[in-house]
Amino acid sequence: MPLIHQLTPPSATPGGSSFTLQVTGYGFNAQSGVYWNGSPRQTTFVAPGQLQATISASDIAMVSTASVTVLTQKPGGGTSNVLYFPVRKPNSTVAFGRTDIAAQPSIYRTVVADFNNDGSPDIAVAQISSPPAVLILLGRGDGTFDPPLVSSAKIKPYDLVAGDVNQDGNIDLVVTDGASGTATLLGDGQGHFTPFALSQDDSLIYGYFFLADFNGDGALDVFKGGSSDYTHATGFFIALGNGDGSFPQVLSGYGNLDGDNGYPAVGDFDGDGVLDVGFPDGTQVAYFHGNGDGSFEDPVYFQVDVPWPPGSDEGAIAVDINHDGKLDIVTNAVSVLLGNGDGSFTPAGGTSNGLLQSPIFGYADMNGDGYPDISVAIAGTLSATYNDEVQVQLGTADGSFQQPISFLGNYTPAEGRYNVDVADFNNDGQLDIVNRNQSLQSTNGERARVLSIYLQGAAKLNPLALSYGDQKVGTSSQPQTAKLRNISDDPTTISTVKLEEIGPADFTQISHCPKVLPARTTCSIDVAFSPQQTGIREATSVVTVDHGSAARSLVTGTGTTK
């Protein structure tokens, strides 16, 4: 079963010439073919980890985002995971507007896939309330979603992963209950799921899932990494798939030295045609060499230059960051281990900001400049209320990453920064982000969890936060100014400029922005603080622009009696 890690180039400009697309991955052979939006393209087999495909000028004539997969003929083959290829104008930066949807008290992990085979990305959401279920939000292709379709999950789905586990051409889900149970939910290609198989794995909980063919038989297997409440041990195990959606054989587990665990980097790091695992482990990555039957040798440890901050959820991915034909490991810290092609690695720096980051993160070209970027959710430091941000670290020609660009999120405690998923939800050639966090609104002290959709757009509001310090109740501060910049080469329409507040109106806002903001220009928004009561007062300045996405900036101050 093929697995793809990376596309080179990662994007193209609309109206460009035909080009050769290099696909880096695993499980390729001379019968493998590259598919562009479900249609085959002329493919050349280069190596078991590399294919080349001819992409015509007509494929990139218009702004869009293509879905790229690899099909290897059976037996021993199948269709790979999807990687997205944006066709868009390049930009030196990015801007996102956030919209919150699907507020529920008990939603957890999300995953993006095309669950109804219409070519538009959809979102699956794990819901642990009684009865446990998965919610499927079918994408309409314009950045909006249908009301959720609800399917029983049998067990509380604290985590889930998507893939075609029964090889019928429809995307299925595998879920875990955060204890020792795993359930398979078979998709019907319309967005509905039926529980098929339920198994007890072992005592690992708090798992991170990954689907891949670890024993080379053409069926997807389950990697589950986690820890145990009983022994406090950490590590992972492999459950081998039968190709029908069941995973009856669970192989012995593998432990970690430092007692940490996270989302794995899975790939053939030593070029022997077998999948290996790079498992995050505190200040290092534990490398497990695969034996080809789903088992692994004892780990070898490689130190990272930028370790994970204490308390982090750890994650890593397998990519060829320096394009030397050898798989590397990039962590969510962000730290880089360059692969030597033999299962060993050389630390190559990183750009961490020292904050807790989502273990499942995006690696794709977000600004269309031809270099992959990192997208993560973080525990920010703006305030005690608004402490979630989404950050994008733009990639450079040498494989390094620039300092992060931040976008305002909601309130999110540590357990909420679980993952970001990247896809183009409105087919404008610009990749968007979805992240699950928590609403500022609460009922009986419990905050509702929401899905935050960050649509990429033209409007960037700076700074991310305006801070006013202490201000006596009943008096007004001098105004501070936020700048709204149109980062695109086209005019953008400003629909609304408003303040979102919970409780009394402590802030006043005056916009100096026109109805239509010309390309590459900036306008100003003045905000003053007039506290109506004592204590910390906060609000959000919200500017809604084209496509309904909203650029946001935090305003905060403290009301005092003096």
Q: Looking at residue 262, what is its pLDDT?
A: 78
What DSSP state is assigned to residue 419? B
Q: Looking at residue 509, what is its pLDDT?
A: 94
Q: Which of 397, 392, 348 is nearest to 373 (CA)?
A: 392
Q: Looking at residue 384, what is its pLDDT?
A: 52
Q: Is residue 137 part of a domain?
A: no
Q: Which of 337, 348, 404, 349 is nearest to 377 (CA)?
A: 404
What DSSP state is assigned to residue 261? -
Q: Is residue 333 very low, low, confident or very high in pLDDT (cuts 50, 70, 90)?
A: confident
Q: What is the mean pLDDT of residues 401-411?
A: 85
Q: Looking at residue 438, what is its pLDDT?
A: 66
Q: Is residue 343 part of a domain?
A: no
Over 80: is that where the pLDDT of 334 sits? yes
Q: Is residue 296 part of a domain?
A: no
Domain count, the chain: 2
207 or 216, greater pLDDT: 216
Q: Is residue 39 part of a domain?
A: yes
Over 50: is that where the pLDDT of 213 sits? yes
Report yes or no: 20 and 55 within 8 Å, Cβ to Cβ: yes
Q: Looking at residue 102, what is its pLDDT?
A: 65
| Residue 499: how many other CB atoms lie within 10 Å | 16
Q: Looking at residue 387, what is its pLDDT?
A: 58
Q: Looking at residue 202, what is its pLDDT?
A: 53
Q: Which of 40, 66, 87 is the last residue of a domain?
A: 87
Q: Is residue 413 very low, low, confident or very high in pLDDT (cuts 50, 70, 90)?
A: very low
Question: Residues 6 or more apart from 356 whose CB is under 8 A from it?
Answer: 309, 311, 312, 313, 378, 379, 414, 417
Helix (H) or strand (E) holding 281: strand 276-281
C-alpha distances in Å from residue 156, one per residue of 105, 175, 234, 419, 513: 14, 8, 21, 18, 48
Q: Looking at residue 313, what is its pLDDT?
A: 78
Over residues 72-90, the pLDDT tens digits come to 988 778 999 999 999 999 9
Q: Is residue 305 part of a domain?
A: no
Question: Residues 6 or more apart from 411 whose CB is under 8 A from it?
Answer: 385, 386, 387, 388, 437, 438, 439, 440, 447
Q: Is residue 385 part of a domain?
A: no
Of the listed ranges 320-324, 407-411, 555-559, the one predicted with least confidence: 407-411
- The DSSP bridge partners found for residue 531 are none
d(CA 190, CA 335): 40
Q: Looking at residue 417, what is its pLDDT?
A: 47
Among 194-208, 209-223, 250-264, 345-359, name the most confident range.
Answer: 209-223
Structure tokens of 357? Answer: 């980051």
Structure tokens of 367? Answer: 């600004």
Q: Looking at residue 562, what is its pLDDT?
A: 86
Q: What is the mean pLDDT of residues 195-211?
A: 71
**Residue 298 burial class via C-beta count within 10 angstroms: exposed 0-12, middle 13-18, buried 19 and up:** exposed
Number of H helices, E strands in the chain: 0, 48
| Residue 402: how many other CB atoms lie within 10 Å | 15
Structure tokens of 435? Answer: 């992240």
Q: Looking at residue 500, what is its pLDDT?
A: 87
Over residues 161-172, the pLDDT tens digits come to 999 999 999 999
Q: Looking at residue 128, what is its pLDDT?
A: 84
What DSSP state is assigned to residue 490? S
Q: Is residue 192 part of a domain?
A: no
Over 60: is that where the pLDDT of 270 sits? yes
Q: Looking at residue 205, what is its pLDDT?
A: 53
The 10 Å CB-count burial string (b at 16+, else e) for 163-202 is: bbbbbeebbbbbbbbbbbbbbbbbbeeebbbebbbebebe
Over residues 9-25, the pLDDT tens digits come to 999 999 999 999 999 99
Of the listed ranges 223-232, 242-251, 472-481, the one predicted with least confidence: 223-232
Over residues 279-317, the pLDDT tens digits come to 888 789 999 999 999 999 999 999 999 888 777 778 899
Structure tokens of 316? Answer: 């890593």
Report yes or no: 204 and 254 within 8 Å, Cβ to Cβ: no
Q: Is residue 377 part of a domain?
A: no
According to DSSP, the β-strands at 276-281 and 284-288 are antiparallel
Three-state DSSP class for residue 548? helix
Report CA torsion sign: 43, 69, 402, 524: positive
Over 90: is that where the pLDDT of 425 sits? yes
Q: What is the mean pLDDT of residues 234-247?
A: 87
Q: Which of 87, 120, 145 is the last residue of a domain?
A: 87
Q: Which of 87, 106, 123 is the last residue of a domain?
A: 87
Residue 502: CATH number of its domain: 2.60.40.10
To the nearest whole percent, how much of the chain has pLDDT over 70?
88
Domain that holds residue 513: 459-560
d(CA 164, CA 117): 12
